[in-house]
Structures are given as C-alpha cells and as structure tokens.
Amino acid sequence: MGIENMKMPQLGESVTEGTISKWLVSPGDTVNKYDPIAEVQTDKVNAEVPSSFTGTIKELIAEEGDTLEVGEIICSIEIEGGGSAPVEEAPKEAPKQAENESTAPKTKAPSKDSGNKARYSPAVLKLSQEHDIDLNQVEGTGNGGRITRKDLKKIIESGSIPKAGDAPVPKAETPAPQQAPVEDAAPAQPAKPSAPAANVPVVPGDIEIPVSGIRKAIASNMVRSKHEAPHAWTMMEVDVTNLVDYRNSLKTEFKQREGYNLTFFAFFVKAVAQALKEYPQINSMWAGDKIVQKKDINLSIAVATDDALYVPVIKNADEKTIKGIAREITELAGKVRSGKLTSQDMQGGTFTVNNTGSFGSVQSMGIINYPQAAILQVESIVKRPVVMNNGMIAVRDMVNLCMSLDHRVLDGLVCGRFLQRVKEILENTSKENTSLY
C-alpha cells in the first residue's frame, strides 16, 4: 500500500490556477485510473479532472470553492503496491499528522509552512473578512498547515473569534525567521480582494457577490488588453437586405434537413474569414519586437452564459462552408452552455468576431481579445429608411460592423479596406451569388 498525491493539473497553455467547483468523489471511494474525480474551473474552461491512479480516495485536501495553483495537491489516493520513493515518503508524513494534527505543521520545514499558510483560498478570505478573523492566529489543519474553510467554521461556531491584537500567538513559539514571511505575506494576500470594498460602502440590502475564477480571469485579460494595446475604433454600415431575404428563404428547409439553425452569424463569420485571407495583415499579433502574421485563420467567437464569457475557436474558418460554420457555431455554443467546452476548443484564435447584435446592440466598442490585433462586433440587423442611388428612399435591412484594432499592429487604412471587403461580400450575398455548401 502507498499514498499518491493528485495535483492541480494545467488545463491550458497559459492556465496558472484552477478552482475546485465540485468534488465527484468522497474519502473512501474506490477509483480507477482516468475516472473523473473533480470538476475544475479555470479562466479558460470547465473540465473534469481524471484520476492519475487506481486506488482509494484517502483525503480531499482542497475544498469546493478553493482556488489552487497548478501543481498544488488537491487530494491523496491510497494505492496498491506503491514502491517508488515518492509513494514511500507520503505514508511517513501521514501518520505524524494523524497522531497530532496541531503539532504536525510545526515539525515540517519552516519556509514551506509559512508559504502554505500565507496562501488563502477565496472561500477562506471571504469568511475571515465577514467575521473579522485574524488569520495569523488560526492554526490550519489542511495540507502543510493550510487554513481551510472547515477551520474557520469551527472557530465561528465556537464563538471564540481571534481578532487582531487579541491574545496574539507568542513570537517565542516561532523563530523570527519563520514569523517574518507569514506576517509579510498574510496582509498582502487579503488586501487584493478587500481593496475594492474599502471604497464601496455596504449598507443593509446590498448584495456582495464573490468574484469567481472566470470573472477574475476576464477582468485580468481585459485590463491587460486596455493597458497594453492602444485601441482605435472604426465602424461601417452594411446593407444586408439580400442576405436577410436569402437566409429567410432557406432557414426552415435547412433546419429540417440539417437539424440545426442557419443563423445570420454564420454568413458574417464566413465573410470575415474570406476577407482575412485577402488582408492577412489583420490576422496578426503583437510580439514585442516583432509582429507575427498568422498563417491559419482561426476565428474566436464570443459565447456568453449568465455569469461569464467564453471564446471558443472555429479553426481554419476560411476552409469551411457557411453550412460547416453554422454547424460549428451550434456545437461550440452547446458545449459552453453544457459545461463541456475543453481547453483545446479555446486555443489558437487569431481574430475575434462578436455577435453583439444577438441582444439588440446597434453600436459597441469591443475590447481586443489579447494578444490578437483586432475584434469585430456584428451588431443587430435593423430596418431603416435608406436613400438609394436613384435618390429614392427605401426600407432596408442594415447592420453596423464595429471594429476595434491594436494601433501598434494595424493602421486605419488597412482596416478600412478590410471592412470594405467584408461589406462587399455581405451586400453581394444572395441566392444567385452564394452557396451554403
């Protein structure tokens, strides 16, 4: 018998942490290798984490709601026939913790303990702030002395809440070199989530909503994009009357034959992919000392849920038909809303097309999906009176295309020509000129 530790896996090329959203196992459960043991939420995707071993779940070290860095231990598994060095090390420490949990952290390496206790999960931080608990005075029972939500709940239920300045832990118990990192790190970590609240008075009736891992990631990426990329903006209106008539004449038959909807958005995505092939400068990224013009045209499409925004990717969109794009849009949107989107579905995007018109927007300025060089907002199609070339006024189906660009990479001239080409393709979309297949 031996003990193996399961660690937070890296679920994407730029993912650095994950949040345990749901445990699928409990201590004592038997699992096989590759069985799913937990649902983990990252800034890119929700995914099931498979077990790396066959054995019995010994301890769930992370709790639901805890955010851990990639490589941190999430649970331990008791396996048969453990003979390797790492497996033998784990049981040696496990009995020590079982004999005396309160003294176990003190017997370990001081620097490791201090580092672990200074990293608090969002759930622990929230509870400590709500009940004014001084985390420096709490002895954690988690891995490496980590403070868990259960530790705080026990303190709250007991009514003996340690406050700052109330009976502090004597410094004599811990040598000065150990204590200094803890005192330095502990205030710095809680300051990040509590800083905004300092400027926002909370009164009875207000609702405080914890910031999820995905919301933090969206915020971080948006701030980075706005800070690093000098955004410029341009808009063009397009007459899509012929496109609307063509699509409406086909939508019922298409749905019956193919089993999914032929959306207007599929026509826009196809037009963008075709224009990107003709204006490859737009399909570029800023890389510090160089601009990387991408060979593949992989279009990111924004798909929103009630509380988050995901950006799955249609790979090689220029090689796909309108029908193929419509099917892929349906499949990716379905994956987002069912929580089955994978990290692979999110990777490799070179340009983003955002269907802001789906909720009625007629004009918007998108923030670029870093490190891409541009994003195109497809607004709502609306009927408007338009002066035609012959001077007559007619009611036409009009749509605004709004493009944000990174002015380090792109200039207005090439973006104007790109939008003109997209406009030309869309305005010439008709039964006579356009094939779905």
Distances (CA, A) of 219 to 224, 226, 351: 9, 11, 20
Q: Is omega for the bond preceding 371 within 30 degrees of 0, making it cis? A: yes
Containing 5, the helix (H) or strand (E) segment is: strand 2-7
Q: Which of 132, 184, 296, 411 is catalytic?
A: 411
Question: Are the beta carbons of 400 and 363 closer than 8 angstroms?
Answer: yes
Type and span of the H or E element at 252: helix 241-258
Q: How far apart are CA 383 and CA 396, in angstroms?
A: 5
Q: What angle do CA 109, 113, 117 make, to 5 degrees?
A: 175
- E-assigned strand segments in 261-362: 284-286, 291-293, 299-301, 303-304, 309-310, 313-314, 351-354
Whether 144 and 111 have beta carbons less than 8 Å apart is answered as: no
Q: What's the burial of 291, exposed, middle or buried (CB within 10 Å: 0-12/13-18/19+)?
A: middle
231 is catalytic: no
Torsion of CA 282, 285, 286, 287, to 10 degrees: -150
Nearest to 59 by CA among 72, 39, 76, 71: 76
| CA–CA distance, 114 with 87 (Å, rounded to integer) | 25
Cα 229 off chain centre by: 20
What is the identity of the amino acid at 82?
Answer: G
Alpha helices by DSSP H, listed for 279-376, are 322-338, 343-346
The CA-atom distances, in angstroms, between 393 and each of 320, 381, 384, 388 are: 37, 18, 10, 6
Q: Give the H/E segment covering residue 365.
A: none
Active site residue 411: yes
Q: Which two tokens stand for residue 222?
A: 């948006």
Question: Which neighbouring-strand residues pair with 5?
Answer: 76
The span from the CA of 178 to the CA of 110, in Å, is 6
Residues forming a β-bridge with 291: 286
Task: Pick the catalytic residue from 134, 231, 245, 407.
Answer: 407
Of 159, 122, 123, 154, nearest to 139 by C-alpha is 154
Enumerate the active-site residues: 407, 411
